[in-house]
Amino acid sequence: MSYESRPVSARYRQNLRNNLGGRLIGILLFLCASVTVVTTIGIVAILCIEGFSFFAEVSPIEFFTGTKWTPLFTSKGFGVLPLISGTLLIGLGAACVALPLGTLTAIYLSEYATPKIRSVLKPMVEVLSGIPTVVYGYFALTFVSPFIKEYLYPEAGPYMAISAIIVVGIMIVPIVASISDDALRAVPRELREAAYGVGSSRLEVTTRVAFPAALSGIIASYILAISRAIGETMAVTVAAGARPNLTANPLEAVQTMTAYIVSVSLGDTPHGTIEFKTIFAVGLTLFFMTLVMNVISSRITKRFREVYD
């Protein structure tokens, strides 16, 4: 990536005289890094500007406490609770699938698997997070939902939260497994050896020494995974349906915040209307929910690092 083709000695002399080029490159590279900061500022600015202009027309109290979400109908309801409940139902439901599976996988990988099995199993688990989410949507709609309908709950409609919960849960298993595995492996060997030395079995070392010692890292992975599930869009849009529904029943169709945003952008709602501005208000809510969870998760991770490094 040389930007000059003169001999080294000439370049060297020139740089000694005046390091303008070097400084210029430093500035250029700084600008590259600042793109990420500008992105964040852009996201916050756009969500806030359009979101606040939405809240100028709809009171935040109505937005956050209303239970009817029908902004595209003639009798408009701007209560976001049905979307939040749909999002939390999927997010927490997916957690019920992913946290046990991910934790067991992490424990298996770090405490039981031989290096050879580990080198095969870990990449295979990580493939789960590399599959596009629209593929999970297809799987939920053409395999999981019909399966549930046929064998478990024949009254269900074509869309149901449970099938989105299952695929989103599987999708976030690698997040839990990977980060928890790292946390377990960061537990110093001495702790384990001390426990073995007083006669503990492997189960006891795992559950009473390694697991508690890695707990903060494991919890950080849980929060991160739930935050990822909440922000998930396509599988939920395809499998969970498009009906804002204030329910905790996973067999019904629900709509999440992300699915709502997609449904508006797929429709022909004109820009600048109050109907269109709802996506910014919903987006703002979603952004802050995931941001708070990510910040908590990274705080916990940092604290955990200080203990063992």
Partner 1 sequence: MSSENNPSRVRSGLGSSDFRTNLAFRHLKGRMFYLLCLFGSLVGILLLVTLINDIRQDGFSYMSKHFFTNFPSRKPEIAGFHGAIMGTLWVMGIVAITSFPIGVGAALYLEEYAKRNKLTSLIQTNISNLAGVPSIVFGILGLQLFVRGTIGYGPAICIGEQCGFGRSVMSGALTLTLLILPIVIVAAQEAIKSVPPSIREASYGVGATKWQTVSSHVLPQAMPGIMTGMILALSRAIGETAPIIMIGALTFVAFRPEGPLDPFTAMPIQVLNWISRPQAAFHDLAATGIVVLLVTLLTMNTIAVLIRVKLGRSSSR
Closest among 187, 158, 128 to 307, alpha carbons compared: 187
Determine which residue in the list 6, 10, 20, 29 makes contact with partner 1, applying CB under 8 A.
29
153 part of the interface to partner 1, by CB under 8 A: no
Question: For the chain, how are helix, strand and coil distributed in percent, rounded to 5?
Answer: 75, 0, 25
Nearer to partner 1, 19 or 67 (CB): 19
Determine which residue in the list 227, 245, 255, 269 makes contact with partner 1, applying CB under 8 A.
227
Buried residues in 138-148 as b, exposed as e (16+ CB within 10 A)? bbbbeebbeeb
Shortest separation between residue 105's beta carbon and partner 1, angstroms: 4
Chain positions 96 to 135 lying near partner 1, rule: CB under 8 A, are 100-101, 103-105, 107-109, 111-112, 121, 124-125, 127-128, 130-135
- Report how far residue 258's alpha carbon sits from residue 87's, in angstroms, rounded to the nearest whole number: 8
Shortest separation between residue 81's beta carbon and partner 1, angstroms: 20
Determine which residue in the list 20, 40, 56, 307 makes contact with partner 1, applying CB under 8 A.
40
228 part of the interface to partner 1, by CB under 8 A: yes
Which positions from 185 to 224 touch partner 1 by CB under 8 A, shown as an x/- string?
--------------x-xxxx-xx----------------x
Nearer to partner 1, 17 or 74 (CB): 17
**Size of residue set near partner 1 by CB under 8 A:** 96
CA dist list (Å): 36 to 42, 69, 72, 156, 298: 10, 34, 35, 45, 18
CA dist list (Å): 187 to 24, 103, 215, 223, 281: 45, 15, 10, 20, 43
Confirm if 101 and 264 have CB atoms less than 8 A apart: no
61 part of the interface to partner 1, by CB under 8 A: no
160 part of the interface to partner 1, by CB under 8 A: no
